[in-house]
Structure 1
């Protein structure tokens, strides 16, 4: 029998897998870490140490006090949370930030809200062990730090269900709606629920799987986890309880609904505002309703630092970057409002304006939507210090201040796949352990650990694999499995830590937290099907949906989807297949671009089609293997690290990068710095910043004296990119030219000559760049925009380029 589990979020790393706890126990004996712990309680500390020391510094503080650790980006927060959870387990949580702006007419996801409210409840009720042990470390981003939130969120009572509990069924449904759960016919994502007779399906924002709750009257009789893909129970998971927190941070209580109704009645001139308020007064959640917090939620909004327990410390990691991010967030929020008003002037939706809101019926109170806007970092610090929260910072760079405390922590040399540098690191490790020191290599998986131990043995370095949580031994290199992203050297503890990322240059992915349960690709939703829709059955092929019916078979009444196939004989009606609802996992939507031919039931045409497809896949796979083998064998150009000009150009970007954008930029540049050809695909919708990634990569290539080709499918897109690249690089000695059907005569010849002699650094063009006669002095990077729109012949030419350039 599997162990019982709650349907709420499991910790990212359970206490049974504290991979880094043994390593941390040694690291925390270092005099630098002891000094950090001894200083706990000091109102201010300015620490200087490499970024790799962050998890150990936070753990040192957590020995004496709770600590809020703030990072500049979400990726840094993810990495740091993973590392700390492998040291302190369930006592570490991450407080996520909204995906939306405070005044945007979009709401944060139910997943994000649920995780935030779970953290706030653990802070408000530390003795409630249903959520885990008392928190020691909360990791968050500057975005969450500077965003105000509704007061009392940690005190909101979630819905709790257990077998044997009696609860008014109708009242439960009403409460779910009040907590902003969406009622649907079939649960498919977090924050949804469905009702069928005495059965309630609910997907809590903090759960790994949705849960089917069966009632006998008002008594809960059974809890079962089920899959969103086929709606069938998952037998290997036993559910002990359901904890369902709100899905929104503005709860539609009766008081909130009454205030919405009053404001709607008093402000009939503003149609957009009235529409939102009318729905809210009826208890219907609407997108972007959180922007109305100051209107509908009485009481002063709170900051995250305000709700921390007494004595908690705030630790800012890289304060200069955090300060820059905070300033950008405040500016972005203001720019969003201004841009919204500009859009409104040409027919877009205007942001809400409280300057015209009539509040007479609410006693004439002053309402200010700006109360929910991002606060400045200075305001946050003043508020935290007024509550007695020590304000600490840790930075990798010294500012020269007399108040700084520089920790005796060193970085390890980066290898980045270089055999010469790897030999040097192995020699350093051999010398270190030979004098009684401890050395650790942290890798992501057991297979990598085995290979590292083999390589160490070849280099005559004594090495041993240690179990998760074990302390490293002296006189030998200890190889352990754990997610640590950067290594460090603690001289006083005689400890050297090297990570897989240090050795390979590849970022080791953080341990995944709660994932959305996998949904079958192109899954069929029977309620969304209409007669005539094409579907694909795993065994029988392409058919046409006819209807959904009920039949009684063997005394049991079941629902079936009726699928029509091609007739077995000419002139006969089509054959029909009855697919029971519990076999929906065998069906998927047809996603081809044209109306398909129907398969024959019992025939061999579907088997032949699949066989041909498998053969084509094998051929494509063979071509890819040859391509990538050639790329791995071919020496690539390892671009140098970012130059001051690179940083200056990137800082001139007029917008705030998204988390995904920064991740892509960082990984692309890291790949460019490796001595093998890069091949990367950047995916994203229009307007999500793909061009800026290309601009930065191109500029980096030019800094190393390489030429860049930007291939686009249309002349219009070529003109747009030419304008963008030219504007972004106008302040630097970079020559950008275009080559398309708009480029004629002498201009075209000049561009071709510039490519040959190297005077043109970046060329942006259509298929003309792939024609014969185009020669390059030193092509180093090819960027293809919308590759799917190029023809087969052009793709073959692009493929040949990929074997030797990035």
Structure 2
């Protein structure tokens, strides 16, 4: 241990309890690291609260070097709350304690609340962990029982930790300690393969040699355990409770919500984390722990009093938590030290960090009294600051070992990487640690150095939902029905129509169906089979669609006539820049980036919309595009709707472009006077490459030297005048728009093909959906929501969108949660005050931010994971989606509490909130925009003249008609009304089963989704990918499913020949018609001349001799025939 650094006292025995000084948090992290190096055993900090624990744990690696830093989070639930603890928390505890037992030196940081909770015995948790290897014996049914007993929930499709599925010999399971779920394959009761897989595509990823599955629940969920609990319930509460609904649910294998509150009933004795710590552990008891302990116990007793008298059995507090007396006894048995404010700060003092980059540069250019270590948040930021300091003639050495730098004489200024929220000064040696500001100095903007997506379709449709059949009109989806037709077993989509009629649509014709959208489901029309009402409605819509398509194409033609600029993209530099992205790109993100770069390189103007849910990586797509254009010598404008978002994006762009010759500036109301004038002058002179700004960028006096790309974030948030300016921009420069919930008109145009669309639907790994609740205002509910977040060390937004009384409302929040530091932010504040509040909240100087919708767009704070929205019924879906997207942006589950006024809530608002709740899952922004189309109607989309037609035939079919009309007019021909409204696929009839059996894919929704995807495949590669996915997810394909894919392959091969129908019979196969404009009759005759083929052409109908009743042999002959015809056409 370096002798010159502070050396905290280390007691030798429990009787030698000592005292440590009480320095700032960074100083305490330094003392902990020093103690861990010297102490032969783990050093365990018991922090007074979860936020302090998180901050110290984040700072510790800066000082710890090779010493492992471990941490445990605070509980995700409040005392006696009827909520389930997430499986990740239990898995983390098991993993940390295993690691702790294996290390000679380590630091463990945990909040008091975590140490107080009683836990399941460690022996039970170890016994409940299932470890698998290749060759292990594993009966799938036994695996099911084992997983359910360990708290895993069986679902149809694994998406979240604590879930599993079982399909034949394939087990999918998502353990709480892994970033992705895992797939276990068995054959004849033996494990033959283990690997991770993508929860969204369901495709396999990396292979694994072994897999440990920790329990997802602390309690054993078995019949024997249920019997034990019922017996103990009877002993404690009487037989009525033992026979009640709560206990019955447990016996039926469904763990009741909040079952952890009855943990002691499952075991003969519980344990605490004290029992899991090795004898060599040194406890460091935080300052203020006594007050925190008393406050925690007071809250537990109050929660116990509120919970009594409910439906659930309620155990006394000391059965579930350590009482203050029990906690003191447990501490007294251990070696320990107390952090004591009376012992001073130990020569470790807090210092104010420089307010901004300019202040830091000024301070460093003046010889300081101490050596200085600057701490950057990332290696990229450290490199940028090292370059900036070099330009200012300040030599800064790169520091990899902080402790060595602090302990030895050396460079006057160093720069390292770590987490440091506030500055720290050491008296001996004379050193100062300072966090660097987020952005570079204003005068150092940088110097030039040398050198598709689709809509929702039938996804998620439920019985009773309206659905459109192209020939029969609007009915109600009834479900999938398996039955025999013509002696052949098949599966059909059943649709109910007026007059109690029912239509059965073969799954091979599922392309004739579309989900109805255009009005509220209950108001959708219901047609009668055999009537002409549907045909008339379709014809009326088609007539108006032609005029609409012509008008839209006219605008697009004006733009395309001007041509565009083909950017010279340096692919090598773009690839090097991409390597600086700190996260793994999702497949959708990679696709969107490739599409945008291809557009930029093309000699036509780009107009692309990137639609992706909040936090799914749209900003990185924008960064790649901006980099490609800026390094090519042209300027980039990034337009955002709010000043706060401009500040955040400017910071993000500067950090990502650090080290590259790209100059970034910001233009918003935060920039005034001389700084604003200088920015405008540089922009006009071409001395700024990327400018991030609000609508200020669109005003008079803003000139560019050579603008090549405009990036518009959340276009729907801008006003009418700004949108008109955007339309003018699109005529001159490439435009990239980004949104999580684009306005209906924008989305509809993109879906119709008039604007390019990139859809990012895959969330980052470990992102959990935001748990959303809708409720009336109740002070206790709001208080619990905020306290839950504070207890786990997080921050919260409380949105109150009325500036006139926001301060009074904030006082009410302070009264509800007096322990919280509450700040207020709204757009009418002076710019400097608003910036200070937001910066302070970002740096965790406040716990709760009472605010208006100023936080709506793009504000990113990973510590904020709860949002309370007052009068949520007054907001639209796009706003609600954006607001909910402000939380849950890390691997911690987010919570959204939507406060409504039931007496004042309109029917439209109620439908909005129902839609919002229906798409709680990740990636729901696109679906929300589609729901917005349904609720708000089509008047806003293309004008009121079209809205009636959309209500009659549904938006999805209207979109198809519009897309086909656009395609026809582009090709120089009038739309064919009959063809446009009809089915454009190839119909295939076969007298053999072609379906997905329900014993192969049990879930009806999953089967329906697969049928739609198979029907929508347009090439052989897509079908091959589907085949591989089915094999991967469900195992070997049964014969009817393999046949279904083979028929889809015939459709793909027949489509270019304009064949409309293939009929596969026992005696002959018939293909018709073969007289389309794309058919070369001479080439066709030559291809059929081979007598061995057995094919004859009768007018436009081709007959192929069938090999008897062998349907699969007939498919093989047809495949050969279509391959010959295709080759002849191409030749």
Q: What is the TM-score with the length of structure 1 in the denominator?
A: 0.58
Structure 2 residue 254 is the aligned partner of structure 1 residue 307: no
Instruction: Measure how far apart 1:480 and its partner are.
Output: 2.3
Instruction: Measure how far apart 1:62 and its partner are.
Output: 1.5
Residue in 2 aligned with 1:659?
Answer: 789
Q: Number of paired residues?
A: 565
2:21 to 47, 52, 73: 47
Looking at structure 1, the residues matched to 231 and 99 of structure 2 have their Cα atoms a distance apart, in angstroms, of 35
Looking at structure 2, the residues matched to 558 and 679 of structure 1 have their Cα atoms a distance apart, in angstroms, of 66
1:426 to 345, 364, 370: 364
What do the CA deviations read for 1:543-580 (whole angstroms, capped 9, x no partner)? 99897799xxxxxx9999999xxxxxxxxx9999869x
Residue in 2 aligned with 1:407?
Answer: 346
Question: What is the DSSP-based 3-state SS (H/G/I as helix, E as strand, rest coil) of the residue aligned with 2:291?
Answer: helix
Instruction: Measure how far apart 1:31 and its partner are.
Output: 3.8
The structure having more radius of gyration, on CA atoms, is 2
Residue in 2 aligned with 1:198?
Answer: 169
Structure 2 residue 265 is the aligned partner of structure 1 residue 295: yes
Residue in 1 aligned with 2:140?
Answer: 169
Structure 2 residue 69 is the aligned partner of structure 1 residue 92: yes
Question: What is the DSSP-based 3-state SS (H/G/I as helix, E as strand, rest coil) of the residue aligned with 2:360?
Answer: helix
Higher helix share: 2
CA contact (8 A) 2:22 2:345 kept: yes
CA contact (8 A) 1:306 1:384 kept: no
Question: What is the DSSP-based 3-state SS (H/G/I as helix, E as strand, rest coil) of the residue aligned with 1:675?
Answer: helix
Residue in 2 aligned with 1:480?
Answer: 416
Instruction: Measure how far apart 1:160 and its partner are.
Output: 0.7
1:385 to 310, 315, 332: 332
CA gap of 1:527–1:334, structure 2 versus 1, over 3 A, is same
Instruction: Measure how far apart 1:158 and its partner are.
Output: 0.8
Question: What is the DSSP-based 3-state SS (H/G/I as helix, E as strand, rest coil) of the residue aligned with 1:68?
Answer: strand
1:252 to 215, 221, 224: 221
Looking at structure 1, the residues matched to 436 and 455 of structure 2 have their Cα atoms a distance apart, in angstroms, of 37
Looking at structure 2, the residues matched to 35 and 295 of structure 1 have their Cα atoms a distance apart, in angstroms, of 43
Residue in 2 aligned with 1:441?
Answer: 374
Instruction: Measure how far apart 1:533 and its partner are.
Output: 6.4
What do the CA deviations read for 1:168-219 (whole angstroms, capped 9, x no partner)? 3322221111111111111111011100000000000111100111111221
Question: What is the DSSP-based 3-state SS (H/G/I as helix, E as strand, rest coil) of the residue aligned with 2:274?
Answer: helix
Structure 2 residue 310 is the aligned partner of structure 1 residue 336: no
Looking at structure 2, the residues matched to 588 and 499 of structure 1 have their Cα atoms a distance apart, in angstroms, of 54
Structure 2 residue 42 is the aligned partner of structure 1 residue 62: no
Structure 2 residue 94 is the aligned partner of structure 1 residue 117: yes
Looking at structure 2, the residues matched to 485 and 377 of structure 1 have their Cα atoms a distance apart, in angstroms, of 32
Looking at structure 1, the residues matched to 356 and 8 of structure 2 have their Cα atoms a distance apart, in angstroms, of 36
CA contact (8 A) 2:230 2:242 kept: no
Structure 2 residue 7 is the aligned partner of structure 1 residue 34: yes
Residue in 2 aligned with 1:554?
Answer: none
CA gap of 1:228–1:669, structure 2 versus 1, over 3 A, is same
Instruction: Measure how far apart 1:292 and its partner are.
Output: 1.7
Looking at structure 2, the residues matched to 55 and 558 of structure 1 have their Cα atoms a distance apart, in angstroms, of 67
Q: What is the TM-score with the length of structure 2 in the denominator?
A: 0.43
CA contact (8 A) 2:57 2:71 kept: yes
Structure 2 residues not aligned, in runs of 5+: 442-452, 469-474, 483-488, 496-504, 526-537, 557-606, 613-621, 623-636, 647-666, 674-781, 797-819, 840-845, 855-868, 876-931, 933-1131
Instruction: Measure how far apart 1:616 and its partner are.
Output: 13
Residue in 2 aligned with 1:490?
Answer: 426
Instruction: Measure how far apart 1:411 and its partner are.
Output: 2.5
Residue in 2 aligned with 1:352?
Answer: 313
CA contact (8 A) 2:353 2:422 kept: no
Looking at structure 2, the residues matched to 474 and 588 of structure 1 have their Cα atoms a distance apart, in angstroms, of 70
Question: What is the DSSP-based 3-state SS (H/G/I as helix, E as strand, rest coil) of the residue aligned with 1:215?
Answer: strand
What do the CA deviations read for 1:23-45 (whole angstroms, capped 9, x no partner)? xxxxx525453344688974222
Structure 2 residue 70 is the aligned partner of structure 1 residue 75: no
Looking at structure 2, the residues matched to 138 and 163 of structure 1 have their Cα atoms a distance apart, in angstroms, of 34
What do the CA deviations read for 1:106-137 (whole angstroms, capped 9, x no partner)? 221112122123334445xx35xxxxx56722
Looking at structure 2, the residues matched to 692 and 384 of structure 1 have their Cα atoms a distance apart, in angstroms, of 37
Residue in 2 aligned with 1:372?
Answer: 319
Residue in 2 aligned with 1:141?
Answer: 111
Looking at structure 1, the residues matched to 335 and 266 of structure 2 have their Cα atoms a distance apart, in angstroms, of 33
CA contact (8 A) 1:32 1:408 kept: no
Looking at structure 2, the residues matched to 691 and 588 of structure 1 have their Cα atoms a distance apart, in angstroms, of 42
1:417 to 340, 353, 356: 356
Instruction: Measure how far apart 1:159 and its partner are.
Output: 0.5
CA contact (8 A) 2:493 2:506 kept: no
CA contact (8 A) 1:149 1:372 kept: no
CA gap of 1:530–1:713, structure 2 versus 1, over 3 A, is closer
Looking at structure 1, the residues matched to 414 and 379 of structure 2 have their Cα atoms a distance apart, in angstroms, of 13
CA gap of 1:606–1:532, structure 2 versus 1, over 3 A, is farther
What do the CA deviations read for 1:612-649 (whole angstroms, capped 9, x no partner)? 9949999x9746268953321259xxxxxxxxxxxxxx
Of stretches 95-104 and 263-272 in structure 1, the one that deviates more from structure 2 is 263-272
Instruction: Measure how far apart 1:443 and its partner are.
Output: 0.8
Residue in 2 aligned with 1:584?
Answer: none
Structure 2 residue 604 is the aligned partner of structure 1 residue 630: no
CA contact (8 A) 1:449 1:480 kept: yes
CA gap of 1:497–1:329, structure 2 versus 1, over 3 A, is same
CA gap of 1:466–1:528, structure 2 versus 1, over 3 A, is farther
Looking at structure 2, the residues matched to 616 and 187 of structure 1 have their Cα atoms a distance apart, in angstroms, of 25
Question: What is the DSSP-based 3-state SS (H/G/I as helix, E as strand, rest coil) of the residue aligned with 1:200?
Answer: strand
CA gap of 1:51–1:622, structure 2 versus 1, over 3 A, is closer
What do the CA deviations read for 1:498-542 (whole angstroms, capped 9, x no partner)? 11369999xxxxxxxxxxxxxx9999996764474689xxxxxxx
What do the CA deviations read for 1:439-478 (whole angstroms, capped 9, x no partner)? 3211112442233224423443212334588954822422
Looking at structure 2, the residues matched to 488 and 560 of structure 1 have their Cα atoms a distance apart, in angstroms, of 71
CA gap of 1:37–1:670, structure 2 versus 1, over 3 A, is farther
CA contact (8 A) 1:187 1:194 kept: yes
Looking at structure 2, the residues matched to 424 and 227 of structure 1 have their Cα atoms a distance apart, in angstroms, of 50
Structure 1 residues not aligned, in runs of 5+: 1-27, 128-132, 354-367, 506-519, 536-542, 551-556, 564-572, 580-586, 636-652, 683-688, 698-710, 718-787, 789-806
Looking at structure 2, the residues matched to 242 and 605 of structure 1 have their Cα atoms a distance apart, in angstroms, of 56
Instruction: Measure how far apart 1:249 and its partner are.
Output: 1.6
Larger RCO (alpha carbons 8 Å, 6+ apart): 1
Structure 2 residue 221 is the aligned partner of structure 1 residue 285: no
CA contact (8 A) 2:822 2:847 kept: no
Instruction: Measure how far apart 1:662 and its partner are.
Output: 6.1
Instruction: Measure how far apart 1:138 and its partner are.
Output: 1.8
CA gap of 1:207–1:589, structure 2 versus 1, over 3 A, is farther
Question: What is the DSSP-based 3-state SS (H/G/I as helix, E as strand, rest coil) of the residue aligned with 1:677?
Answer: helix
Instruction: Measure how far apart 1:384 and its partner are.
Output: 2.0
CA gap of 1:544–1:96, structure 2 versus 1, over 3 A, is farther
CA gap of 1:176–1:332, structure 2 versus 1, over 3 A, is same
Looking at structure 2, the residues matched to 596 and 606 of structure 1 have their Cα atoms a distance apart, in angstroms, of 28
Residue in 2 aligned with 1:500?
Answer: 436
Question: What is the DSSP-based 3-state SS (H/G/I as helix, E as strand, rest coil) of the residue aligned with 2:143?
Answer: helix
Instruction: Measure how far apart 1:692 and its partner are.
Output: 8.2
Instruction: Measure how far apart 1:670 and its partner are.
Output: 11
Looking at structure 1, the residues matched to 355 and 437 of structure 2 have their Cα atoms a distance apart, in angstroms, of 8
Instruction: Measure how far apart 1:676 and its partner are.
Output: 5.6
Looking at structure 2, the residues matched to 242 and 558 of structure 1 have their Cα atoms a distance apart, in angstroms, of 40
Instruction: Measure how far apart 1:53 and its partner are.
Output: 1.2
* CA RMSD, 1 decimal: 5.5
CA gap of 1:184–1:413, structure 2 versus 1, over 3 A, is same
CA contact (8 A) 1:306 1:383 kept: no
CA contact (8 A) 1:333 1:373 kept: no
Structure 2 residue 386 is the aligned partner of structure 1 residue 453: yes
Question: What is the DSSP-based 3-state SS (H/G/I as helix, E as strand, rest coil) of the residue aligned with 1:59?
Answer: helix
CA gap of 1:588–1:442, structure 2 versus 1, over 3 A, is farther
